[in-house]
Every structure is written in structure tokens, then in C-alpha cells.
Amino acid sequence: MRKISLDKINQLFAEISSKSSLYIPVDTAAGAKFEKYDGTKTMSDALNTVRSAKDFFFPQTENMVDFKVEGKNIEIVEPVNEYEDFVVFGVRACDVKSFEILDRVFLADPVDNFYKNRREHGIIVSMACTKPAETCFCGTFGIDAASPAGDIVCHKTDDTLYLDAKTEKGAQLLDSLNALTEETDSSAVDAQKAKTAEIMKKLPLAGLDASAFGADKTMEFFNAPEWKELSEACLGCGTCTFVCPTCQCYDIKDFSTGHEVKRFRCWDSCMYSDFTRMAHGNIRNSQLERFRQRFMHKLVYYPTNNEGIFGCVGCGRCLAKCPINMNIVKVMKKLGGNK
């Protein structure tokens, strides 16, 4: 384990950015978001970014292929499949866990090469939480906010940043920072973890229990009468899906520039009325059906197909951003018997 004074953190960022593109969370008028470090930016102290770090591996829009048309001739132009090495600094435990969930989708056969290439080129430097918010419930899904995964795991005290490499990629990066950092033991980190654990126990959602849900529970919940009441106020705006770090649905569209056709993919939402529209019609015509799909996928369908792993990481973004305060916690409490 290495450490560096927080007074020198900009020197640390400068050294990392001299080797690879570095992205850190910074404060903006719309909330914290990841931006490329350029020597002028200051790392945000916000608990989490408004949108997750998912964007680095599965961006909101992504060009897939171009078609150049000249008369009857069509030239297919594939985008460059190699991406620059980059470092994402300050990723919280919930978002790091979301990468595991996305990996099971995009790295399963057939492998999504766009996603795969970005994962291979990215280094995740996570940041342990010290002040979790009232909307956090990552512990419900077995995530320890004080002990995130990542290539390098960071812990921050009042005046010091501690860095601990967990993977080969992380070790190589941390070794390159030896001139700026110094060796240390884990005593300060252990004390910080204990403080965070005590805070987590006192959060409003600390007792939220997911045991009623999981694999092979489709028939138990699919026709539950509670879906009608739960879905009545839903606007179908899709906000919850766009701030969610684990949502993976996308649409593929073609766009003509007048000179060529660009085929791109963009995030989609199961909360939209045209999400399942096909040539014969739509299989989910009501908001109840679309609402049920979203939460059944997180709590039942995904764990059924992924060894019991839930499709939610308890980051709390949907609780903070839903305009009518309807979210997965309320669904779990209503259907799962949580108080």
C-alpha cells in the first residue's frame, strides 16, 4: 500500500495524465461528472457522479459502421477498433460492481468488441466511501462501500490518500508513481473503514432486504396485483434507466449525412412505449407492463440468468432523480414485505 498527501494530489494527477488520458469527477452546475484532467480541474468531493462511469465502456451514443454510397457502389467503413489507454479515477464501489454486471452481458458470446476493447484499455482507480448518502443501499446487494474493487483501490482521510493495487494493471500504474508516493501500512485505512461501516449501519435503507427476490421467482411476482398501484404514477420518462449504472439496453439506428450513412447505437429504455415495438406491433402496450419489466429484470430475470447476481448495485441514483419518487426500493418494500 502506498500513500500521498492530499496537498500533492494534483502532482499525482499530472503524473498519471502524462502516461494516459485521466478522467476525474469534477463539480459542474448539473452535479458531479467525469471530465478529462487538464491540469486546471479539481476533484469533486461529491459522493457520486450524476451519471455513472458506465459511459466509459458503454457510451450513450457510439458509431458502429459507416456506409459510403456512390451510385450503385457501397463502401463499408468500419470504425477504428483500438482505443487509447485511459484511467478513470474516483469510481465508487457501486459503480465498480456495475462493471461486473455489464461484463456478463457484453463479454458473453457473442462478445461485443466495442465494449471489450474499452474494458481492456481502461484502468479503474476506485475510491472508498467515507460519507454515504441516505439514498445508498449498496449493502443490500453485498457491496461494501468502504472496500471497493478496482485495479487500484483508494481510501481518503482528512489529509492523505492511500492507494492499494489489486490487479496487474493497477500494480504497473502504481509502481510508476513510486517517486510521488511512499510505502505505508493499512492502520489508517482500517480505521477509516470501521468509521464508514458504522455510518452504513445507520442509513435509512440499511435494513433493506432483497432475499424475497432472486432467481426463479418469475411466477411468484409476475402477476402480483401490486404492480398496478406501483406503476400508476410512472411517467415513462426513462430517467431511472439513463442514470442507472447497470442498464444495458440500446437501439441501433441509421443516419444519412447526405454523403454517407452512419450506423450508430444509443441507449434505449424499457420504460418507453416503443421499446418493444416490432413489425407485428408492441408486446408491452401498457405502462404497467413496461414498469414491471424494468424491476423484474433487476430483481428476478437477471439473477435467474446470472448465478443469482442482482441487476442493481444500490447506488441510489434512481431514488434521487425520479421526478415522482417511484423507485426500486419502493418496489422491493411493496412486493418483498420490507418495512
In the chain the first and final C-alpha atoms are separated, in Å, by 41
Residues 49 and 89: beta-carbon distance below 8 Å: no
Number of domains in the chain: 2
> What sign has the CA pseudo-torsion 148, 297, 114, 251?
negative
282 occurs within a structural domain:
yes
208 occurs within a structural domain:
no
Query: What residue type is 165 in one-letter code?
Result: A
Q: What is the pLDDT of residues 96-121, one digit of tens each?
A: 999 999 999 999 999 999 999 999 99
Q: What is the pLDDT of residues 172-182, one digit of tens each?
A: 999 999 999 99
Query: What residue type is 154 in one-letter code?
Result: C
pLDDT more than 90, % of the chain: 84
pLDDT of residue 115: 95
Query: Are residues 24 and 167 both part of a single domain?
Result: yes
Residues 6+ apart with CB under 8 A from 61: 264, 265, 266, 267
236 occurs within a structural domain:
yes
- The strand order across the sheet containing 86-91 reads 33-36, 21-26, 86-91, 122-127, 152-156, 160-165, 2-5, 182-183
Over range 38-52, report the average pLDDT: 94
Query: Are residues 121 and 224 both part of a single domain?
Result: no
Nearest to 155 by CA among 194, 127, 131, 184: 127
Determine if the peptide bond prior to 225 is cis (ω within 30°). no
Q: What is the pLDDT of residues 264-299, one digit of tens each?
A: 999 998 888 777 666 666 667 788 989 999 999 999
Nearest to 156 by CA among 123, 122, 195: 195
Query: Are residues 155 and 279 both part of a single domain?
Result: no
pLDDT of residue 70: 83
State the residue range of the domain holding 245: 218-336
| pLDDT beyond 80 at 137 | yes
pLDDT of residue 338: 63
211 occurs within a structural domain:
no
CA distances from 104 to 21, 29, 96, 211 (A): 26, 34, 14, 22
Q: Kindly report the pTM of this predicted structure.
A: 0.92
Query: Are residues 18 and 146 both part of a single domain?
Result: yes
31 occurs within a structural domain:
yes
Residues 6+ apart with CB under 8 A from 115: 57, 58, 102, 106, 107
Query: Are residues 160 and 11 both part of a single domain?
Result: yes
pLDDT of residue 278: 66
Query: Are residues 274 and 188 both part of a single domain?
Result: no
Query: Are residues 121 and 242 both part of a single domain?
Result: no
Query: Are residues 123 and 256 both part of a single domain?
Result: no
Query: Are residues 168 and 101 both part of a single domain?
Result: yes
Residues 9 and 181: beta-carbon distance below 8 Å: no
pLDDT more than 70, % of the chain: 96
> What sign has the CA pseudo-torsion 176, 181, 182, 188?
negative
321 occurs within a structural domain:
yes
| Residue 74 banded pLDDT, cuts 50, 70, 90 | confident
Nearest to 113 by CA among 79, 75, 67: 79
